């Protein structure tokens, strides 16, 4: 069965890990009379993902354990055939955040139908599921998702060709992946890596929760490496809408604290500069006082020298006057004596 009507297959550079496991195998308890429906796709998709431009063989296996338990009341005749109706629904979905609110949206679903009839007792129903178009062909952006739901309903067909009781209904949900989404997410990983490394490699941001963002980056890388593109897309959306804002807030907080410390440092530097100016003023005043002291000291020494010299001169003068007086005294006595004679 072709899901899309046009487009051509192209070579894909897919990064798929060598992990083989049964993804679409549904296990149910085997209870007598209860039917079991199993889905298996080949090749086995990983993480519920199918690739555009690929064809998958779908094997729907029906196990019926006791036909007598089905209620055929209201139906005429018997039955020996079964009808299985397959409905494949292709839906594009997206969403975005604004403030503290989140909204989602979806495109009009596209449905495809396939009916298969088979004799009663048939266990397996096989059909091909081909995705000829990728998301872009239907106008879906790489940051949106494409869900593919495969639903199968099994009915009894009465011998008059009327549809009888429904035996069982089961459905599986898949995600369509294409090369554009793979490249888009690889680019977003590089963008996230550059942003986180730019911050975490900076010295001095001790308050930044580096481990949180490096772990987030590693999880994104691991999802891409193992081929889980749906998880990688979810990680990118969470980072883009929430964690990137947290990273900016943490950086802003670190810058704010650093700014406060810088202001405190500038205040101390300003005080230091003021004290330096005061010291220079005091130094100048000290030098002026020192010069005045030296001048006064020199003046004192000069005056003291002159005073000592004056003292000596005065002593000499006094001695000379006393000596002169004494001489004149003796001269006077000598003259008095001659007058008496």
Return d(Cα 2, Cα 312) in angstroms, integer.
Answer: 139
Q: What per-residue confidence (pLDDT) applies to 66?
A: 60
Token look-up 């006064």 returns 296
Cβ atoms < 10 Å from Cβ of 52: 24
- Mean pLDDT across the chain, nearest whole number? 77
Q: Is 149 exposed, middle or buried (0-12, 13-18, 19+ CB in 10 A)?
A: middle
Tens of pLDDT, residue by residue over 163-187, are: 877 778 889 999 999 999 999 999 9
Q: What per-residue confidence (pLDDT) applies to 76?
A: 63
Tens of pLDDT, residue by residue over 267-298, are: 787 788 888 888 888 888 888 888 888 888 88
* Among 63-72, 250-259, 308-317, the least confident range: 63-72
Q: How far is CA 291 from CA 285, 297, 300, in A?
A: 10, 10, 14
Q: Where in the chain is the domain with CATH 2.60.40.640?
A: 36-177
174: its two tokens: 């898949």
Tens of pLDDT, residue by residue over 93-146, are: 888 777 667 788 888 888 999 998 888 777 888 989 888 888 888 888 998 899
36-177 has which CATH code? 2.60.40.640
Return d(Cα 63, Cα 66) in angstroms, integer.
Answer: 10
String of DSSP letters for 208-263: S-HHHHHHHHHHHHHHHHHT-HHHHHHHHHHIIIIIHHHHHHHHHHHHHHHHHHHH
Return d(Cα 49, Cα 89) in angstroms, integer.
Answer: 15
pLDDT tops 80 at residue 204: no
Query: Who's near 209: CB < 8 A, 6+ residues apart?
Result: 250
Q: What per-residue confidence (pLDDT) applies to 308?
A: 78
Query: Who's near 163: CB < 8 A, 6+ residues apart?
Result: 83, 155, 156, 157
Tens of pLDDT, residue by residue over 35-80, are: 788 889 999 999 999 999 999 999 988 876 565 556 666 666 667 7
Return d(Cα 65, Cα 171) in angstroms, integer.
Answer: 21
Phi, psi of 260 (to 5 degrees): -60, -45
pLDDT tops 50 at residue 8: no
Using DSSP, state whether 164 is helix, strand or coil.
strand
> pTM above the 0.85 mark?
no
Return d(Cα 95, Cα 103) in angstroms, integer.
Answer: 6
pLDDT tops 70 at residue 22: no
């Amino acid at each position: 069965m072709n899901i899309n009507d046009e487009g051509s297959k192209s070579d894909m550079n897919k990064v798929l890990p060598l992990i083989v496991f049964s993804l679409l195998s549904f296990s149910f308890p085997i209870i007598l009379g209860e039917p079991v429906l199993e889905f298996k796709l080949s090749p086995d998709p990983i993480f519920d993902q199918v690739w555009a431009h690929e064809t998958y063989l779908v094997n729907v296996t029906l196990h019926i354990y006791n036909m007598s338990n089905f209620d055929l009341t209201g139906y005429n005749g018997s039955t020996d055939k079964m009808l299985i109706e397959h409905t494949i629904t292709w839906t594009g979905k997206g969403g975005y955040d604004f403030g503290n609110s989140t909204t989602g949206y979806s495109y009009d679903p596209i449905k495809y139908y396939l009916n298969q009839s088979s004799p009663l007792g048939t266990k397996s129903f096989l059909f091909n599921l081909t995705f000829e178009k990728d998301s872009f062909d239907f106008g879906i952006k790489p940051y949106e998702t494409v869900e593919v739901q495969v639903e199968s309903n099994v009915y009894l067909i009465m011998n008059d060709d009327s549809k009888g009781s429904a035996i069982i209904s089961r459905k599986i949900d898949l995600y369509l992946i294409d090369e554009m989404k793979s490249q888009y997410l690889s680019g977003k990983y590089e963008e996230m890596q550059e942003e986180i490394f730019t911050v975490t490699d900076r010295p001095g941001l001790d308050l930044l929760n580096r481990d949180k963002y490096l772990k987030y980056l590693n999880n994104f890388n691991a999802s891409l490496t193992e081929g889980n593109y749906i998880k990688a897309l979810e990680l990118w959306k969470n980072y883009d809408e929430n964690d990137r804002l947290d990273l900016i807030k943490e950086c802003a907080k670190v810058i704010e604290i650093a700014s406060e410390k810088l202001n405190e440092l500038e205040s101390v530097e300003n005080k230091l500069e003021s004290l330096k100016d005061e010291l220079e003023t005091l130094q100048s005043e000290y030098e002026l006082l020192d010069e005045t002291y030296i001048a006064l000291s020199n003046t004192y020494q000069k005056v003291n020298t002159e005073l000592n010299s004056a003292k000596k001169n005065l002593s000499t003068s006094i001695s000379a006057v006393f000596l002169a007086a004494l001489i004149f005294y003796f001269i006077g006595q000598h003259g008095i004596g001659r007058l008496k004679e």
